Amino acid sequence: MKMIYMDNAATSWPKPDIVYDTILRTMKYYGANPGRSSHTMAIEAANILLYTREMLCQLFNAQDPFRMIFTYNTTDSLNLAIKGVLKNGDHVITTSMEHNSVIRPLMHLADMGVETTIVPGDSEGLIDPSDIKRSMRSNTRLIIATHASNVTGTLMPIESIGKIAKDSGVYFLLDAAQTAGSIPIDISKLPVDLVAMPGHKGLLGPQGTGVLYVREGVELRQIREGGTGSQSESINQPMFLPDRYESGTLNTPGIAGLGAGIRHILNKGQGKIVSHVVNIERLFLNALSQIKGVKVYGPKDMKHRSGIVSINIWDRDSREIVNILSRDYGIATRGSLHCAPLAHKTIGTKEQGTVRFSPGEFNTLDEVKACVRAIGEIGYKIETRSI
Amino acid sequence: MKMIYMDNAATSWPKPDIVYDTILRTMKYYGANPGRSSHTMAIEAANILLYTREMLCQLFNAQDPFRMIFTYNTTDSLNLAIKGVLKNGDHVITTSMEHNSVIRPLMHLADMGVETTIVPGDSEGLIDPSDIKRSMRSNTRLIIATHASNVTGTLMPIESIGKIAKDSGVYFLLDAAQTAGSIPIDISKLPVDLVAMPGHKGLLGPQGTGVLYVREGVELRQIREGGTGSQSESINQPMFLPDRYESGTLNTPGIAGLGAGIRHILNKGQGKIVSHVVNIERLFLNALSQIKGVKVYGPKDMKHRSGIVSINIWDRDSREIVNILSRDYGIATRGSLHCAPLAHKTIGTKEQGTVRFSPGEFNTLDEVKACVRAIGEIGYKIETRSI
């Protein structure tokens, strides 16, 4: 049974061949420690880092490669952004559609005197920017919003949210975990101060890579200190970028793979990839609307959607459906609460969870049809009590 | 010109072929997100993590795989250990031979009311445990020592230091950046509470991997919160291991490669690898003792050495020598201060730095002879003022 991979919101798979090749070549031929010496291989390793920073700048239309900080994953990027900005006595506004990678750090900071307001989404997961505006206080320092919900795929009105932040002089942190690479983001136009992103989802790099973009002028403390290969004579952390935020040996082969993934997107054209996923999503949603017992979450309006198709079948536990899809149909999806309990509370699936199909560039329309057939069969079996 | 790689203390290279193969196979066939779903590929990815934890337990003679925490790199492990243990008002004892990955976090914590005593090494870089004992205070909470200096290769008396910690009821954090994999460590016998290690040096895994071993009973706060794929219904960080310390998507292919690296060590026999590097070191040191103008740092006694051969040639800046070695002889070494300024102050090389040769399993005796010839030629040229 050939597997149909529909879990790209967890990590994209497969990667373009050039990503595998680049990682292997980097390990075999440029396997030194970048920025730590001046021998040839160490310099080549350092050039790889710079190349990937430049690819990031090109894709996101940013100017300064040294403001693209390499991290371990989006969670690491978010922890750096959140803990690097907020201090005791600060107030932060976020939404009920956030992943636990935002909510859990904020709950941790609550014990240290940081106040959080969580603005609720509506039944489609949409955030109303005026709710954010109304929540502003004199001590508000940061607004955090996801670009797209990992549960419903709901695309958020980030331009309006960014404008509120800018007008009020507070920082705006964008969680682009679900969109970096797969939905265009123009950093030169979007009023955003910090952008957290994974290397291993829409950017098509390997796991073990994340990025935090830090706009010029943002005051951000580091959360890790250590060797940077720079200012080695000093026992204090360097204050210049990117070194201030990049202590210890970086994931050079992973970052090389990330650069190759972005190169692939730029070569193919991001618009072409986006159109393909939109086509898949439209076909998927149309077909599902014909199937009895299937409930689809998220916005009805395609322009508020980002590619994720999150459903339930009758009242069955989403985990059970995920297991059936994997075992009987070879379809890889994710069920349960997707590490975003408040989002599930918002859309009313705190107990059932949702079955999330997250297609990507390499899925075909035939695969979507196979998913629809599987969902139809499972729905029928549940209705007729044969499973 | 075939390169002679003598920079294994920065990162080991090459890796065993099985490491490259495993990373590639993991990305291509098990490229899902571990612990995030129950589809077949996600379960296989989760099994990979467990396998590597078990390999770590086997190599270090530890019992509980879930006490082997995966991190980004040693610096990340050290930041977790240091910031997870120390609080305002605590006192910590460390040594002048530490890397900036220990010293810089401590200098940062100084601003937050953590007091640090730095015990000096002698001219060979050796620490006297009685100096540590004498530095103990009523509010001492942690002792941190490197297992081997990354500048001189000096092996520290970690059993004695661990015993002092244990007898006083304070935690002992071992920085095994230079030794994990290349010098045997038996966690069941060594009185140690926390061990920070890189995946990409002696353990032969790829960059982007680190480990922190946390002994049972150690009270350690997490430094990152986020999604863990567990307790998804909760907006608070889970308190069980390893999830408490492992938020966000892990570097699955890198961790798979780390497991393969350790498997290679276990299959070949760690003793055999250690003997090979000791032979190289002995040959190297004997030959260098015959060359005019070469100063070798670190202990005279082989039993206090760990494989690193750190030298200077006459009074030339170490960076200049590193450049000549790379350009004219294809020999990859590291110069300057090695991110450990206090260690250089200790051995009197704060200005000159040292030229560090760090051989590994895959270096040959012929390569060492080529290094010796190169050093001899450079020394002669400096003496005769022809460079």
Q: Look up residue A2 and give its two tokens.
A: 């050939």
Integer Cα distance of A146 and A164 in angstroms:
15
Q: Tell me, what amino acid is at B316?
A: R
- Which site among B33, B108, B342 would you substitute to test the A interface, given the most A Cβ atoms closer than 10 Å to its Cβ? B33
Cβ contact B37–A105 (<8 Å): no
The answer to whether residue A36 scores a pLDDT higher than 90 is no
Q: Look up residue B384 and give its two tokens.
A: 């005769």
- Does B98 touch chain A if contact means CB atoms closer than 8 Å? no
Among A267, A301, A330, which residue terminates a domain? A267
Q: For strand B171-175 and strand B194-198, is the pairing parallel, antiparallel, or unpaired?
A: parallel
Integer Cα distance of B237 and B170 in angstroms:
26
Integer Cα distance of B21 and B257 in angstroms:
8
Of A27-36, A144-153, A307-316, B117-126, give the lowest mean pLDDT range. Answer: A27-36
- The secondary structure of residue B324, as a DSSP letter, is H
Q: Is residue B154 packed enough to be buried (19+ CB in 10 Å), middle (13-18) or exposed (0-12)?
A: buried
pLDDT number for residue A2: 87
Cβ contact A254–B13 (<8 Å): no
Provide, as residue numbers in chain A, all residues whose Cβ is less than 8 Å from the Cβ of B350. 233
Cβ contact B252–A207 (<8 Å): yes
Integer Cα distance of B281 and B268 in angstroms:
20
Among A267, A300, A325, which residue terminates a domain? A267
Integer Cα distance of B258 and B53 in angstroms:
10
Mean pLDDT of B168-196: 98
Of A135-144, A244-253, B40-49, give the lowest mean pLDDT range. Answer: B40-49
Q: What pTM was estimated for this model as a whole?
A: 0.98
Mean pLDDT of A37-44: 89
B51 shares its domain with B175: yes
Mean pLDDT of A217-242: 96
Query: Considering just the CA atoms, what is the radius of gyration of chain A in Å?
Result: 21
Count of CB atoms situated within 10 Å of the CB of A180: 27
- Does B36 touch chain A if contact means CB atoms closer than 8 Å? yes
User: What confidence tens digit (pLDDT) does each residue in A50-93 have?
Assistant: 999 999 999 999 999 999 999 999 999 999 999 999 999 999 99
**Residue in A7, A223, A233 nearest the CB of B337:** A233
Distance in Å, alpha carbon of B221 to nearest chain A alpha carbon: 11
B187: Cβ–Cβ under 8 A, 6 or more apart, which residues?
B60, B61, B62, B195, B213, B215
Cβ contact A42–B252 (<8 Å): no
B172 shares its domain with B301: no
User: What confidence tens digit (pLDDT) does each residue in B308-323 have?
Assistant: 999 999 999 999 999 9
Q: What is the domain count for chain A?
A: 2
Paired residues of B357 in beta bridges: B309
pLDDT number for residue A331: 98
B259 shares its domain with B371: no
Cβ contact A36–B335 (<8 Å): no
User: What confidence tens digit (pLDDT) does each residue in A159-198 have?
Assistant: 999 999 999 999 999 999 999 999 999 999 999 999 999 9
pLDDT number for residue A109: 98
Q: Give the length of chain B.
A: 387
Scan for tokens 């099985």, then name that residue: B18
Provide, as residue numbers in chain B, all residues whose Cβ is less than 8 Å from the Cβ of A234. 341
With bands split at pLDDT 50, 70 and 90, how would you rate the model's confidence at A241?
A: very high
Mean pLDDT of A296-323: 97
Nearest CA in chain B to A31: B13
Integer Cα distance of A337 and B72 in angstroms:
26
- Does B342 touch chain A if contact means CB atoms closer than 8 Å? yes
Residue B118 phi/psi, 5-degree rounding, is -110, 110
A352 shares its domain with A258: no
Integer Cα distance of A90 and B63 in angstroms:
43
The fraction of chain B above a pLDDT of 90, given in percent, is 97
The fraction of chain B above a pLDDT of 70, given in percent, is 100
Provide, as residue numbers in chain A, all residues whose Cβ is less than 8 Å from the Cβ of B38. 319, 322-323, 326, 335
Q: Tell me, what amino acid is at A315?
A: D
Among A211, A238, A267, which residue terminates a domain? A267
pLDDT number for residue A295: 98
Cβ contact A322–B27 (<8 Å): no
pLDDT number for residue B220: 98
With bands split at pLDDT 50, 70 and 90, how would you rate the model's confidence at B1?
A: confident
B80 shares its domain with B167: yes
H or E segment and range at residue B172: strand B171-175
- Does B227 touch chain A if contact means CB atoms closer than 8 Å? yes
Cβ contact A319–B38 (<8 Å): yes
B282 shares its domain with B153: no
A9 shares its domain with A25: no
Cβ contact B79–A225 (<8 Å): yes
A69 shares its domain with A203: yes
- Which site among A23, A100, A349 would you substitute to test the B interface, given the most B Cβ atoms closer than 10 Å to its Cβ? A100
- The secondary structure of residue A303, as a DSSP letter, is G
| A19 touches A208 (CB < 8 A) | no
Signed CA dihedral, B158, B161, B163, B166: sign only: negative
A344 shares its domain with A256: no
Signed CA dihedral, B333, B336, B339, B343: sign only: positive
Cα–Cα distance list, B321 to A231, B187, B314, B354 (Å): 20, 39, 10, 9
Q: Nearest to residue B144, comparing CAs of B166, B169, B165, B130?
A: B165
**Residue in B7, B76, B331 nearest the CB of A248:** B76
Cβ contact A37–B334 (<8 Å): yes
Integer Cα distance of A210 and A217 in angstroms:
22
- Does B196 touch chain A if contact means CB atoms closer than 8 Å? no
| A115 touches A165 (CB < 8 A) | no
A256 shares its domain with A283: no
With bands split at pLDDT 50, 70 and 90, how would you rate the model's confidence at B211?
A: very high
Q: Nearest to residue A98, comparing CAs of A116, A80, A72?
A: A116
Q: Give the length of chain A.
A: 387
With bands split at pLDDT 50, 70 and 90, how would you rate the model's confidence at B37?
A: confident
Mean pLDDT of A285-296: 98
CATH number of the domain enclosing A317: 3.90.1150.10
Cβ contact B15–A24 (<8 Å): no
**Residue in A72, A232, A340 nearest the CB of B337:** A232
B26 shares its domain with B119: yes
- Does A249 touch chain B if contact means CB atoms closer than 8 Å? yes
CA B39-B253-A256 angle, to 5 degrees, is 125
CATH number of the domain enclosing A102: 3.40.640.10
The answer to whether residue B302 scores a pLDDT higher than 90 is yes
Paired residues of A294 in beta bridges: A313
**Residue in B27, B224, B236 nearest the CB of A206:** B27
Q: For strand B4-5 and strand B331-332, is the pairing parallel, antiparallel, or unpaired?
A: parallel
B39 shares its domain with B165: yes
Nearest CA in chain B to A208: B251
- Does A233 touch chain B if contact means CB atoms closer than 8 Å? yes
Cβ contact A325–B223 (<8 Å): no
pLDDT number for residue A186: 98
B140: Cβ–Cβ under 8 A, 6 or more apart, which residues?
B90, B91, B92, B93, B168, B170
Q: Look up residue B68 and give its two tokens.
A: 């082997």
| A120 touches A145 (CB < 8 A) | no
- Does A27 touch chain B if contact means CB atoms closer than 8 Å? yes
Nearest CA in chain A to B32: A11
A385: Cβ–Cβ under 8 A, 6 or more apart, which residues?
none
With bands split at pLDDT 50, 70 and 90, how would you rate the model's confidence at B52?
A: very high
The answer to whether residue B38 scores a pLDDT higher than 90 is no
**Residue in B103, B227, B334 nearest the CB of A235:** B103
B 148-167 residues with CB < 8 A to A: none
Cβ contact A235–B339 (<8 Å): no
Range of the domain at B278: 4-13+269-383
Q: For strand A91-95 and strand A115-119, is the pairing parallel, antiparallel, or unpaired?
A: parallel
Provide, as residue numbers in chain A, all residues whose Cβ is less than 8 Å from the Cβ of B200. 249
- Which site among A18, A224, A317 would you substitute to test the B interface, given the most B Cβ atoms closer than 10 Å to its Cβ? A224
With bands split at pLDDT 50, 70 and 90, how would you rate the model's confidence at B201?
A: very high
Cβ contact A101–B247 (<8 Å): yes
DSSP alpha helix (H) spans, chain A = 17-29, 40-60, 74-85, 100-110, 129-134, 158-168, 252-268, 270-288, 318-329, 341-347, 365-383
Integer Cα distance of B16 and A83 in angstroms:
39
Cβ contact B232–A100 (<8 Å): yes
What DSSP letter does each residue of B235-285 carry, written as one string? SS---STTGGG--S---HHHHHHHHHHHHHHHHH-HHHHHHHHHHHHHHHH
Integer Cα distance of A216 and B47 in angstroms:
42
Integer Cα distance of B324 and B382 in angstroms:
12
- Does A100 touch chain B if contact means CB atoms closer than 8 Å? yes
Distance in Å, alpha carbon of B176 to nearest chain A alpha carbon: 14
Cβ contact A235–B40 (<8 Å): no
Signed CA dihedral, B249, B252, B258, B263: sign only: positive
pLDDT number for residue A1: 76
Cβ contact A7–B251 (<8 Å): no
